Amino acid sequence: PNVPAFGQVTKEDLLLKTCEFDDKAEAMVLLDDGTLQYVFNSGMELKRRIRIKILNNKGLDWANVHLPYRLMTGNTQYISDLEAQTYNLDAAGNVVTSKVEKKLVYDKKLNKRYAEKVFTFPEAKVGSVIEYRYSHNGIGLIDWYFQRSVPVRYSRFVLDFPQEVEVAAIPYTSNPYDKKDETSANRKINTYTMSKVPALKSEPFIINEDYYRDRLVTKVVAYDINGRYTSRTINWIQVVKALMEDEDFGVQIKRNIPRTVDLDEKLKTITTPYSRMKTVYKYVQDNMQWNEFTSIWAMDGVRSAWKDKKGTVGEINLILVNLLKDAGLNASPILVSTHGNGVVNTVDAGTYEYPGYHQFDKVMAYIELDGKAYVLDASKKGAPVHLIPDEILYTQGLVIEKYETFGWGWKTLWNQGALAKN
């Protein structure tokens, strides 16, 4: 279909009472349009435009927008050219436009790695159409979701890359989509569209709905410059090495945490490895408070978190690994993906631009004693030492250790018979 210009909204859409292919929908995405463009020496930029029809009171939640972006030094993203407006009909049937003023848009820092741009549409009510567009600079590759929790009338995703860059877009779809390939001025332009996409309804026992949505998974496979072919894919050894050298991960395991007299006193009389593990685990559980942020990273550092007695999942469990090592135990961090985060693809370690550690959402402590595997999450108060957490049961975890020692590797996380190992 012809895509209307930004700001051009029809009375038909404003008078719409229900979605023609889902009469129970709270809202409908009229248009979800994204172009991901790569330019040598300046990186990737996503130009995104979204138009939504609010159909009932529950749909008003769509008028609150959060746009996350990354803050990391040397890898910073930013969002620019943001425009947003609400469309309503007045009593005379005229279209009234209410713009989101710049002063109503603010940036909220989530942690040292991420922030988000936040705003709410003015004059949004049942029957309104809301629309916004923006540029996301330095974003890197993204997966495109055709499907949402509400129906989508039309979704379009464009990959605009130089001929020298080989990009793979892998479809995971149950609904039909169209693809159009063009070449122009030494560029490859691939356009993917899907129309009348049904909502993905929440179902019991489906924890991570993203894995069931119709989507495109993208990655840069290689560069082919002047006949020289350079692969951009990496292996898990490279991922492990990068993590062990990362200031917010591997370096934190080597940090000397100030000793605590009470823990040292407890450990003086405890000699068996299991009891020493249990004592350290319970000590960290009792003395650290989770700050409600889940991540593999120790963003403010383990020393700072230990001093404040509060931290992310990453900080708390890297502290745990640190103290277990101090107690003479062979503990390692293990990257895990909770059931809510989805299944890890152990074959695909990712690319230089998007390493495989992005597949994981938590780090825990891993230790083997007497042929048994223990996976410990000290951010969970009261979680027993002998049970692998339910949220990672029957998943694959990646133990991170110095790659030279071959101590790293995949572990199948079962509860708690003989050690299962891949």
- Show contacts of 400-406: CB within 8 Å, 24+ apart: 400/240, 400/243, 400/244, 400/249, 400/250, 400/332, 400/333, 400/334, 400/335, 400/363, 401/240, 401/244, 401/332, 402/244, 403/237, 403/240, 403/241, 403/244
Structural contact between residues 280 and 327, judged by C-beta atoms closer than 8 angstroms = yes
Structural contact between residues 381 and 284, judged by C-beta atoms closer than 8 angstroms = no
Structural contact between residues 126 and 57, judged by C-beta atoms closer than 8 angstroms = yes
Q: 236-412 has which CATH code?
A: 3.10.620
pLDDT, one tens digit per residue, over 250-296 is 888 887 787 788 888 889 999 899 999 999 999 999 999 999 888 89
Q: Which of 245, 257, 267, 264 is nearest to 288 (CA)?
A: 257
pLDDT, one tens digit per residue, over 45-100 is 999 999 999 999 999 999 999 999 988 766 778 899 999 999 999 999 999 999 99
Q: What is the token pair recorded at 90? A: 């007045």
Structural contact between residues 46 and 170, judged by C-beta atoms closer than 8 angstroms = no
Q: Which of 340, 379, 364 is nearest to 413 (CA)?
A: 364
Q: Which of 280, 287, 344, 329 is nearest to 310 (CA)?
A: 287
Looking at residue 56, what is its pLDDT?
A: 96
The domain locations on the chain are: 11-231, 236-412
When the pLDDT of each residue in the chain is averaged and rounded to a whole number, the result is 89
Provide the pLDDT confidence category of residue 113 given band limits of 50, 70 and 90.
Answer: confident
Task: Name the strand (E) or helix (H) holding 86.
Answer: strand 78-89
Looking at residue 43, what is its pLDDT?
A: 80
Task: Give CA–CA dist 4/13, Å, rounded.
Answer: 12
- Burial classification of residue 105, based on how many CB atoms lie within 10 Å of its CB (0-12 exposed, 13-18 middle, 19 or more buried): middle
Fold classification of 11-231 is Immunoglobulin-like (2.60.40)
Between residues 17 and 344, which one has the greater pLDDT?
17
Task: Give CA–CA dist 37/47, Å, rounded.
Answer: 8
Looking at residue 404, what is its pLDDT?
A: 64
